[in-house]
């Protein structure tokens, strides 16, 4: 039984390793960081109140904690470390926050004025762009009307061309018909003339025989 109790107490009295955690120097003006866990060890550096240390391990028996600060690693008294920043550090922080809050209204007014200026500039630019947009819309409508008129005119021109082509074709047909009629009339007149000539010749040949026959008849009656 004693064989198990003695190692247990030795374990309790040994330094307690722990993950590094951040603790702060208590509200004392300065504390010492030493090379070992007693006042006989050399002082490495002095730490100001509020300094943040990364605590690696704590030894309840010696009352010291192993900590890192600014690239150095040493031992400080555990009772001189607290979980929250010191009152002096908190007070300085609160003073800075108060000063920032006091200065905030002026900054806010300045920011508000700047935002109002930018708003006016943006509104002016918006109005200008709106004017350009309206002008472009009017030009687009004019172009659309012109395009519509151009399409209408093109359609009318095509229709007129078609009508002209139809009239030209009809005119050519009429010309051809007139030429055909003229040729027929010329042929008819030629035939009529030929018939008249032939009739005249026949009359010229028959008429003397009729006269001679009449004369013979008149002589026979005597």
- The pTM assigned to this predicted structure is 0.34
Share of the chain above pLDDT 90, in %: 16
CATH code 2.30.30.40 for 15-85: yes
- Residues in contact with 180: Cβ distance below 8 Å, sequence separation at least 6, in sequence order: none
Query: In angstroms, rounded to a whole number, what is the distance separating the alpha carbons of residues 90 and 70?
Result: 21
**Do the beta carbons of residue 69 and residue 24 sit within 8 Å?**
no
For the stretch 60-74, pLDDT in tens is 999 999 999 988 899
Greatest mean pLDDT among 44-58, 86-100, 130-144: 44-58
- Beginning with the edge strand found earlier in the chain, give each strand of the sheet holding 52-59 in spatial order: 43-48, 30-34, 72-77, 64-69, 52-59, 16-25, 81-82
Q: And the tokens for 100?
A: 């920032």
Summary mean pLDDT of the chain:
78
Which of 73, 62, 2, 63 minimizes the C-alpha distance to 34? Answer: 73
Asked if pLDDT for residue 2 goes beyond 50, the answer is no
Q: What is the reported pLDDT for 73?
A: 94
The pLDDT value recorded for residue 210 is 67
Domain ranges of the chain: 15-85, 104-174
Q: Is the pLDDT of residue 34 over 80?
A: yes
- Contact in structure between 92 and 53 (CB atoms under 8 Å): no
Q: Identify the burial level of 68 via C-beta atoms within 10 angstroms of its C-beta, where 0-12 means exposed, 13-18 middle and 19 or more buried.
A: middle
Is 190 a residue whose pLDDT tops 50? yes
- Residue 19's SS3 state is strand
């Amino acid at each position: 039984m004693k064989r198990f109790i003695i190692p247990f107490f030795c374990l309790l009295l040994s330094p307690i390793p722990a993950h590094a955690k951040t603790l702060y120097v208590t509200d004392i003006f300065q504390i010492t960081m030493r090379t070992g866990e007693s006042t006989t060890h050399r002082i490495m550096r002095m730490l100001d109140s509020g300094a943040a240390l990364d605590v690696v391990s704590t030894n309840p028996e010696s009352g010291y904690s192993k900590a890192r600060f600014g690239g150095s690693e040493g031992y400080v008294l555990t009772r001189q470390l607290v979980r929250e920043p010191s009152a002096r550090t908190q007070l300085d922080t609160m003073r800075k926050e108060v000063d920032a809050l006091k200065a905030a209204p002026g900054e806010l007014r300045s920011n508000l004025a700047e935002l109002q200026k930018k708003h006016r500039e943006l509104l002016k630019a918006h109005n200008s762009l709106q004017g350009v947009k309206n002008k472009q819309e009017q030009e687009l409508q004019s172009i659309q009307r012109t395009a519509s008129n151009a399409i209408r005119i093109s359609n009318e021109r095509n229709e007129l061309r078609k009508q002209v082509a139809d009239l030209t074709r009809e005119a050519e047909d009429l010309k051809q018909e007139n030429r055909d009629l003229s040729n027929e009339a010329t042929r008819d007149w030629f035939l009529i003339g030929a018939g008249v000539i032939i009739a005249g010749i026949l009359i010229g040949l028959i008429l003397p025989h009729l006269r001679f026959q009449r004369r013979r008849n008149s002589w026979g009656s005597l």
